[in-house]
Amino acid sequence: MRLADARALVPDLVTTSGEPQADQRLIGTIADWCDRYTPWVAIDPLGGALAEEGTEACSTGGFGGDAGLLLDVTGCTHLFGQGETGDEAGERALLADLVGRLSRHDFACRAAMADTAGAAWALARYAERQADLFCPRHGQRDALASLPVEGLRLEAPILETFVKLGLRRIGDLYPLPRAPLARRFGDLPLTRLDQALGARDEVLEPRRAVPAFRTRLGFVEPIGRPEDIAAATSRLLAALCRQFEQAGVGARKLEIALYRVDGSVDRTAIGTSRPNRDNPKLMKLFEEKLSELDPGFGVELMILAAPEVEAWSGAQDVLPEAGALAFSLGEDGTIDLADRLALRLGAENVVRLLPRDSHLPERVQVAVAVSSRPATDGAWQRLANLKGARPTRLLQRPEPVEVTAFVPDDPPSVFHWRRHAHRIVRADGPERIADEWWRPRPDGSRPPAGTLPPVRDYYRVEDDDGGRFWLFRDGPYKLAANGQPTARWFLHGFCA
């Protein structure tokens, strides 16, 4: 129905424009919030509100246009209560808690619990009585029998045919022979039916990576003071470190999430250069980050998770007086220091230097992460011995300079750099360094075969003040057609 027609029918119709992206963000926020129940939260891909704007699903709203979330709460329900009847009490409590909290935030929702995602999906949308929303264990076959076939998550044409054939309830499909059904409608109806009944596995794609290790701490009263949050973090960390110890792993990345009373979630993460399960050290890293977290109106739940862990046997025993050994293993606290520095300044800003086999001065030195192996003893020395005199500082990008030279192939007699004239008194050179033809150019193309690679002629010069510079001429001296020299001069470094 068009808007104009609708307005003609109902003159005082209130309309607002749809905002699918805002809806998407909202459902994302709710999904994040649901992490409090289980790490395995998926946004239902068949949710009506998530359909593309302008499509049929959006305009008709499907079954009310509701987006859905699928939560895999396997193994999480005991946290919410345990009765004599096994986990069922916990499951019921979790369901009641979820619905209660969401409605407190003014979300109208229906939540169903069943053994399979398909059955829960159908129950949440089509169950007629409140009591049916909780499907007891292995009870999905009976629970689904009376629901309409729309509960099978099928496309509209198949559903229409089903209705024409008089198959209105899911239960009507149970006695039908499977082979003719598959021949007539394809695999989908049978797949969906099997998934709903638990005869076939259905994999939910979790929204966030599911961490292998996770601890949670709920509070009776919301907390908000930084010292309380720090104390809670330390307790969570202690619990997690015990888990690590049992599993023989160390954390590479830890993430803490604050669930605020207003339903929003704030997260922050720390990373370490090598597996770590040292509680005080990890806590020290967290202290840096905790100040960034905003408790808002109060925090009712904190979850600490380790998304990245690595097998780790524990601290190496360092021999006494083995300073060099400790240095090579990083057991002397350097790695922890690097972690702290990297956390505040960014991992790319805390580096080791490795030598690289290259003729080009700017490629000789490569910065690598601290966790990688340092250069072997004497590697730098060998490299330095192979090269000529090098500057103590190398400009990241050579600066063009203007030069005056009496003889074209000689070092210049004066060069101008940054509005200062430097009169050259002494010079060493040239040292010719050719481009590496075996390497592709920065744009990805390879230099054509048979041509000479571009060369640079480096000169070490000293001006009348004693300042020593590293200059190069871009290519050999040549005259262009207009009589101007083609070679340009650049300043590439400062010598000691």
Partner 1 sequence: MPVISPSAFAPPPITRAITRGATRAAPANDAPANDATAPVSTSLREKVRRLERAHSIQRAGKAAVPLGLPAIDALLPEGGLLTGALHEVEAGPSPSGRVAAHDGAALGFAAHLMGRFAARTPGTLLWCRRPSGVFDAPPYAPSLAAWFDPARLLVVTARRDEDVFWAMEEGLRCPGIAAVLGETRAADATSGRRLSLAAEKSGVPALLLRPQPAPPQSVCVTRWRIASAPSRSTPGLHDIGAARWRLDLRRNRFGVPSAADIPSWLVEWNDETRCLAMVSETLHGSSGALFEERLFEERMVG
Residues of this chain that interact with partner 1 (CB under 8 A) are: 323-324, 326-327, 330, 332-334, 336-338, 340-341, 344-345, 349-353, 355, 361, 364-365, 367, 370, 374-381, 383-384, 387, 389-397, 399, 406, 413, 417-418, 420, 422, 425-428, 460-462, 464-469, 493-496
- Using the minimum distance from each CB to partner 1, give the nearer residue, 133 or 335: 335
Q: Where does 100-192 show beta strands of DSSP type E?
A: none
Residue 148 belongs to what H/E stretch? none
Residues 6+ apart with CB under 8 A from 318: 325, 326, 329, 331
For partner 1, which is the closer residue by CB, 234 or 413? 413
We find the least distance from the C-beta atom of residue 280 to partner 1, in angstroms, to be 14
Burial 105-144 (b: 16+ CB within 10 A, else e): eeeeeebbbbbbbbbbbbbbbbbeeeebbbbeeeebbebb
Q: How far is the CB of 466 from partner 1 (least distance, A)?
A: 4
User: Terminus-to-terminus CA distance in the chain, angstroms?
Assistant: 81
Closest contact distance (angstroms) between CB of 371 and partner 1 is: 12
Give CA separation, 275 vs 148, 251, 415, in Å.
Answer: 53, 5, 53
Closer CB to partner 1, residue 176 or residue 351? 351
Residue with tokens 């790695």: 335
Cis, peptide link before residue 307, omega less than 30° from 0: no
Nearer to partner 1, 72 or 410 (CB): 410
CA-closest candidate to residue 136, choices 184, 87, 170, 179: 87
CB of 411 to partner 1, least distance (A): 9
Q: Name the residue among 102, 100, 138 with its Cα closest to residue 119.
A: 138
How far apart CA 127 and CA 134 sit, in angstroms, is 10
Q: Which of 258, 257, 371, 234 has the alpha carbon at shortest distance from 310?
A: 371
CB of 12 to partner 1, least distance (A): 58
Q: How far is the CB of 30 from partner 1 (least distance, A)?
A: 37
Nearer to partner 1, 379 or 452 (CB): 379
Dihedral angle sign, alpha carbons of residues 282, 288, 289, 293? positive
Judged by beta carbon, residue 1 or residue 324, the one nearer partner 1 is 324
Q: Which is nearer to partner 1, 183 or 397 (CB)?
A: 397
Instruction: Kindly tell me which of 179 and 496 has the beta carbon lying closer to partner 1.
Output: 496
Task: Give CA separation, 318 vs 5, 313, 326, 329, 375, in Å.
Answer: 82, 14, 6, 9, 21
**Shortest Cβ 209–partner 1 spacing (Å):** 30
Q: Provide, rounded to whole angstroms, the least separation between the CB of residue 238 and partner 1.
A: 24
With respect to partner 1, which residue has the nearer C-beta, 161 or 334? 334
Max CA-CA distance within the chain? 102
- CB closer to partner 1, 242 vs 344: 344
Nearest distance, CB of residue 477 and partner 1, angstroms: 18
DSSP character at residue 410: S
Cβ pair 454, 354 in contact under 8 A: no
Q: What's the min distance (Å) between Cβ of 63 and partner 1?
A: 53
In the complex, least distance from residue 386 CB atom to partner 1, rounded to whole angstroms: 9
Type and span of the H or E element at 267: strand 265-276
Q: Rank residues 137 and 426 by Cβ distance to partner 1 and give the closer one.
A: 426
User: DSSP characters for 215-256?
Assistant: EEEEEEEEE--HHHHHHHHHHHHHHHHHHHHHHTEEEEEEEE
